[in-house]
Structure 1
Amino acid sequence: MSKCQLLPHSLWRDYPGNAHRSMRSVLCLFLLACCLLVSPARAVTDFGVIYSGQKDDRVFNSMVVSAIGRFEYQDKVNFRQRVIVEQQDSADAIRAFVERGITTLVLVGFIHEQALQEMAPRYPHARFTIIDGNVTASNVRAIRFREQEAGFLAGMAAAYASRAARVGFIGAVATPPVQRFGCGFIQGVKQARPMPVLARYMTTNMDGFRDRRLARNVASDMLAEGADVIFPAAGLASRDALLAAAQAGKYGIGVDSDQEDLAPGHIVTTAVKRIDVAVTVALRELIDGTWKPGNIEMGIAEGGVDWVRTGADRFLSEQQISAIEAAKAKITAGRLKVVAREPACEQHGVIPEPSGGRSDGGPSIPSP
């Protein structure tokens, strides 16, 4: 039975002949228009999401899981998710999704850069979004962050909180995002209260992000050298470095997502990188049809990075918190430029060379 037949006969029974048929046609057209207005504008879409490392890492990937969960509920979007362990597995994961007909992919982490740069031209009909990576192709949207801005604010907080007048930065490996965190951190220390900064990378390969034992050892060595506040930018392994600091009665700076609950009373602040915001932006563009290829950066002004003020008053005075907030406002307005790239950092004398993968983390390098 048609929807028009469901209309009450009384609506047209008093119209004779052609008038009867005309009225019925008008009502059918009206009902059809109403149906079109309430019908969804798009079909449910399948998305592929590729992680690396551990999906529930309580740091980086966990923010992505939270973001896509909201889209599953609100937009009725289906996500097919896959986790890789080794960098060389990224290309296989991309190929598997596309050959199954899932051609809208979100790749989480710079670990996918090399594979995506190679695979994107092979699948010109697919659309790729890489979060925290830098890939240029006609079918790739790359969203990266100005980590140096969050690192700068965290560096100021670390310098203010340090009683020993010596702090430390630990990077898992010398990737661009980690370098930007470290570069900003050491500049922030110099801005707030110049003091020696012990800075080192754990290793020269991606294992540093999941080598929890090495992170703990490097942190313990750094604390033994006199640092009383450390900032580990090492993904999942950061947690063990922070726990080592807490167990030694010292303090740490969290990374990516708020880590105050990891060791209450020992986390000064967190250099936040809002992966969830980037994923939300990317998915909303894809769903709304506004997605386009190209590279974008997210810093403080765009809501991509920040510092966590909650709990900082345990370690910092109101005057010190105000100074950090003032620096944040200047960065947002473009009146304070935080150096990002390693060559520029070297000119400022604020970034160390990689340690070469030594198990002891390499030598300490004090800032000027």
Structure 2
Amino acid sequence: MEKNKRQKLINCAVIGVIIAGIVALVLLTKSGKIERVAFGEETNTEASLGSLEDLKEGLAAYPELHKAVFEEAGVEPGENAFIIPGMETTLTLHHDHEEADICTTMTPQGLAVNADYLFLSAYCQTKEHNSVVYVLDKKSGSFIKEIVLDGIPHAGGLAYDNNHDLLWVTSEKGDTAQVITLALADIEAYDFMAASEPIRYADSIDLPDIKRASTITVHGNDLYAAYFNDNGASVMHRYAISTKENADGKEVRTLDTGKSTEEAYPDDVDKIGREIQGLAFHQEKLMLSRSAGREDDSTLLSFDRLQETENFTDKNASTEIALPAYLEQIAVDGKQLYILFESGAYPYRDHGNPSIDRVLRVEIDTLFSE
């Protein structure tokens, strides 16, 4: 009898350990600490969350955004919402093994637009896989390919340089902020399926004077870089983009401060608010996107750049618009603003208000109309 009791206790303990292990596994998976099981062998292109109607219903609580996305004259609602690929499965490299692998925890961060393409950067939450840039057709929103980056940078910012046909990407080298460039010709020629190697960088430039390059934009012939600071005000640095010869006599794109082609110091420093995820210029206005987790709405701030000098904190904002949580980068293309959220990523999709698995495109004047 005693033996049977002991055996039952042992069995209960084993079952308890198994259940606890399963619960821990589920929690770690849901939080993006470990990879999910992959049910695909390529980058997925379908929506990771609900339908367009579900999104429309979810955005009803944000009237300015809802109107700009779904009520633009002569435009079908789906034309202003582009599915973010790779939120279920992304084909990339395993960072340690350096072989093709599927990542299930990619998290979108950066956004840039040129005449033909929409570029979205993403990093692996588990840090097991190389970061990527998704390339979409700008007109249709259809997925073209993934660009696999070298290593696991956060890739929090993208900016397209029309003057030099370059895609600028934020990165880091050890504890030093960095930006790297990808030539458009290299992007168009790149085929990960054929090579299973990261894309070749055109140039890389260290930014020693900024804590980290969290987000960037190109305006005119200048690169602007800012860093996300959740403890107080932050800064936005401006660098002039130029063409020089490096020590080997090779022509490179650099940030012209007279120091070197491999590092740059800012020509100008402006003060910005806390928790800034993205920046973009429209004519003579500066727009900043803010987000810090799931508890509060995100905010899109607009500043009259002609009237403000070196201080783009909240007190000087001309307009503030509430947007759903997990707002990331923004990008301007003519009269249109593209808006990216990270809440379509698996670790965040249960916490958005609502969660959004699409890039949204709006007319700037409509969004900021009274």
User: What TM-score do the two structures reach when normalised by structure 2?
Assistant: 0.24
Q: Which has the higher strand share?
A: 2
Q: Which has the higher helix share?
A: 1
User: What TM-score do the two structures reach when normalised by structure 1?
Assistant: 0.24
- Bigger relative contact order, structure 1 or 2 (CA pairs below 8 A, ≥6 apart): 1
